[in-house]
Amino acid sequence: MDIALEADQLGKRYGRTWALRDCSLRLPAGRIAALVGPNGAGKSTLLHLAVGLLRPDAGAVRIFGEAPYDNPAVLPEIGFVAQDTPLYRDFTAAELVQLGGRLNKRWDAALARNRLAQLGIPPKLPVGKLSGGQRAQVALALALAKRPRVLLLDEPVASLDPLARREFLQSLMGSVAESETTVLLSSHLLADLERVCDYLIVLNAAQVQLAGAVDDLVASHRQLVGPRHDGGPIGGVNGVVRASHTDRQSTLLVRTDGPVTDPAWTVRDVGLEDVVLAYLADGATQTRHSEWGVPA
Amino acid sequence: MIWLTWRQHRKQAFFTLLGFAALAALMVPIGLSMRHTFADLGLAECVGQLSDPDVTAATRDSCEAGFRRFTNQYGSLNLVAVLLLTLPVLVGLFWGAPLVAREVEHGTHRFIWTQGVGRTRWALVKFGLVGAAVVALAVCYGLGMSWWVDPLTHAAREGRLGLIVFDLQGVVPIGYTLFAVALGIFTGTVWKQMLPAMGITLAGFIGVRAVVAILARPHYQPARTLTFPIEGTGEPLTERGDWILSQGIRDADGTMVAADTQIMCPPGGKGPDGRACGAELGLGPGAYNWQLYQPAGRFWLFQGIETGIFVALAALLLYLAVRRIRRIA
């Protein structure tokens, strides 16, 4: 299977702070992947590295085997919509479609015009006067008109209201369903993307906490409820992601590598959201007590 | 890319041309009337006659009187000329500084640099087109100003090498304008917001211009010295248009007795109370007038050197800007 996006020990540093560190992942082609993490987790950094806007400080990132930084040959393969969908606000949508045609060798202007016509975007109005949802749709249409093999969307729905969010994601899914386009879209809310993605990457505190196909992730995690647990090994459990205890009882979210047969534990299936929250809670509190001058 | 550059900057180009046309509409009639008066007073011939060392005293006096009349009428236009000095930096502020800074401030660099054209090519095409446009503008400005200030410089003692008139005409405006635009572009890649970039461009431009004009320009070529006695007939033997860097009266042994002045007594003349010439200044026998100057004939050489300096600085800044652009995300 082709690997659309591959990161190998990838790192990016701003001053002395690592925005992304030791990031290794392989996104197979054809997937719709969600990149989830709290604000400041490094999602935009990862996407900017992938589209070649940033140069890695450590490791490497590859799009279909090619490093994107300072390599315009990769650009036709990537459709990118940056955060807040920046567009020249004094250009009309029709002019932006024309602009794309002049800057890209492969350009499907008809696709862009058809999409925008279907969505009822006025062609002669400066895009600065459109609503946020309409502007996001224009940006998406421009990215799709490149006929990219990888589509990278940075928080595409963050500034949209719930209805516009749903419309945006629906139209995105509708247009990539027939093509083989790999999609990676980020959000700080899993709920936005849960229904559309089949692959999940969880970033937190500059590191990849979890990456894999949604089905595999759900299948390989269980919630165990049983007597208070002291950290000993449990049959079939590969690792404990998160544990909470009362005096007599422990609730564990675990990664399994086989059926849990120990009768002391009650085994429950988990949803994707539970898994993600468990990984995010781990290491989520990076408070800097020493910097505030208070005891930890 | 060419279409994009035109589409993005056409409004700006329109307003720039409009401003330029308004300026021309104001300056051309003044220039015409100035030249008219210059010719009416016979000053055009005077310029030729005064450069002849054997000019008669009568001609000299009538010419000096004519120049004085001209200066009385139009001398205040020198202030206008000072205002016009700011044109190159205005171009730098409004064309250079926003070129990258506005893209980054609005986030549109992430849109445009991820299209099929790489950002290095984007930068080279944009810099090239904007550069060509401002050079065309600067050529018009330089030629126009050469025509406009010509009578004023003839009337002024320092000629075309003087501090402000030199900066207004010939080819140096091209160097200044390119430098201002390049400086604006570069600061825009460092301080990625328009207002700080514009402010720093302004400060940097004034600083570099002042340093070059005051510290470097007098030394482009070794200055010449001229000495002449304090007793003689007529005016000191300086060619009109020399750029006098410093002057004074020195004693027989060469020590400066009185700086920034020159005296001239008639031969064998005595002061009012019968003392020797210059005795009230403390001059002994053998004192002479001394001046350090750049000859007027070096105008184009100096123009070339100054333009070269600023074009080189502009090229360096653009190179640095392209390098910085590759680091902006």
pLDDT in tens, A229-267: 877 788 888 888 888 888 888 888 988 888 888 888 889
Task: Tokens for B30, please give them.
Answer: 């003044």
Residue B114 CB partners (closer than 8 Å, separation 6+) = A51, A52, A53, A75, A78, A80, A82
pLDDT surpasses 60 at B237: no
Torsion of CA B57, B61, B63, B65, to 10 degrees: 180
The pLDDT value recorded for residue B150 is 85
More confidently predicted of B53 and A229? A229
Return the DSSP state at B265: B
What pLDDT does residue A236 have?
A: 83
- Interface size A-B, in CB pairs within 8 Å, comes to 71
CA distance A77 to B297: 62
On whether both B253 and B191 belong to a single domain, the answer is: no
pLDDT digit string, tens, across residues A148-158: 999 999 998 88
Mean pLDDT across chain B, nearest whole number? Answer: 87
- Give residue B55's pLDDT band: very low, low, confident or very high (50, 70, 90): confident
pLDDT at residue B131 is higher than 60: yes
What topology does CATH give the domain A3-215? Rossmann fold (3.40.50)
Q: Which of these ranges, A141-150, A178-187, B308-317, has the smallest mean pLDDT?
A: A178-187
**Looking at per-residue confidence, does A20 or A282 come out higher?**
A20
The answer as to whether B71 is a domain residue is no
The average pLDDT across B7-31 equals: 93
Pair B157, B304 in one domain? yes
Q: Are residues B136 and B230 in the same domain?
A: no
Across the interface, which of A48, A55, A75 has its CB nearest the CB of B115? A75
- Ordered strands of the A199-204 beta sheet: A78-81, A150-153, A182-187, A32-36, A199-204, A207-213
The distance in angstroms from the start CA to the end CA of chain B is: 20
Q: Most B CBs within 10 Å: which of A47, A48, A91, A102, as the mutation test of the B interface?
A: A102
Residue B61 within any structural domain of the chain: no
| pLDDT for B165 | 84
Cβ within 8 Å of B, A 71-100: 71-72, 75-76, 78, 80, 82-84, 86-89, 91, 95, 98-100
Does the pTM of the predicted model rise above 0.90? no
Do A134 and A33 contact (CB within 8 A), yes or no?
no
Same-domain status, B304 and B281: no
- Structure token digits, residue B174: 């091209």
CB A83 within 8 A of CB A40: no
Instruction: Give the pLDDT confidence score for residue A126 in this predicted structure.
Output: 94
Q: Which of A237-251, B28-42, B186-200, B258-272 has the highest mean pLDDT?
A: B186-200
Q: Give dist(CA A51, CA A71) in Å, integer.
A: 10
Residues B154, B96, single domain; the answer is yes
Mark whether B109 and B143 lie in a shared domain: yes
Q: Is the pLDDT of residue B32 over 90?
A: yes
pLDDT of amino acid A48: 94
Do residues B139 and B268 both lie within one domain? no
Q: In chain A, at which residue ranges do the beta strands (DSSP E only) sit? A: 3-14, 17-28, 32-36, 58-63, 78-81, 150-153, 182-187, 199-204, 207-213, 221-227, 237-245, 249-256, 266-269
| Residues B95 and B175 occupy one common structural domain | yes
Per-chain mean pLDDT for chain A:
88
Mutation for testing the A interface, residue in B111, B124, B126, B322 having most A CBs under 10 Å: B111
DSSP A122: -
B128 within some domain: yes
Residues A134 and A121 sit within 8 Å (Cβ to Cβ): yes
Query: Which run of H or of E encompasses B228?
Result: strand B224-229
Task: State the pLDDT confidence band at B296, using cuts at 50, 70 and 90.
Answer: confident
Q: Are B133 and B13 in contact (CB under 8 A)?
A: yes
DSSP string, A259-292: ----TTSEEEE--HHHHHHHHHHTT-----HHHH
Amino acid residing at B266: P
Selecting from A51, A87, A99 the residue whose C-beta is nearest the C-beta of B4 gives A99
Residue span of the structural domain in which B134 resides: 2-11+77-220+299-325
Predicted pLDDT at A284:
45
- Between CA B61 and CA B66 the distance in angstroms is 9
DSSP per-residue letters across B230-241: SB-SSS----TT
Q: Does residue B261 share a domain with residue B251?
A: yes
Q: Which residues in chain A are contacts of B114 at CB distance < 8 A?
A: 51-53, 75, 78, 80, 82
The answer to whether the CB atoms of B110 and A53 lie below 8 A apart is yes
Which among A213, A47, A101 is positioned nearest to B1, based on CA atoms?
A: A101
A42 interfaces chain B, CB cutoff of 8 Å: no
Chain B residues whose CB is inside 8 A of the A91 CB are: 7
Tell me, yes or no, whether B25 lies in a domain. no
Residue B247 near residue B260, CB atoms below 8 Å: yes
The pLDDT value given to residue A199: 92
Residue B226: the pLDDT is: 86
Q: Please, what is the angle between helix B119-155 and helix B43-50, to 10°?
A: 90
In this structure, the answer to whether residues B155 and B267 fall within a common structural domain is no
SS3 B98: helix
Say if B40 falls within a structural domain.
Answer: no
Residues B168 and B265 occupy one common structural domain: no
Task: Report CA A99 to chain centroid distance, whole Å.
Answer: 28
Distance from CA of A17 to the nearest CA of B (A): 17
Instruction: Provide Rg for chain B, Cα atoms.
Output: 25
- Encoding tokens for residue A232? 């000993």
Whether residue B246 sits in one domain with residue B135: no
Percent of chain A with pLDDT over 90: 43
Q: In the structure encoding, which two tokens stand for residue B235, read together?
A: 């005016």
CB A201 within 8 A of CB A33: yes
Kindly list the domain boundaries of chain A, sorted by start residue. Answer: 3-215, 220-281
Task: Please state the domain count of chain B.
Answer: 2
Assigned domain for B239 exists? yes
pLDDT, tens only, A37-83: 888 888 999 999 999 999 999 999 999 999 999 888 999 999 999 99
> Is B233 part of any domain?
yes
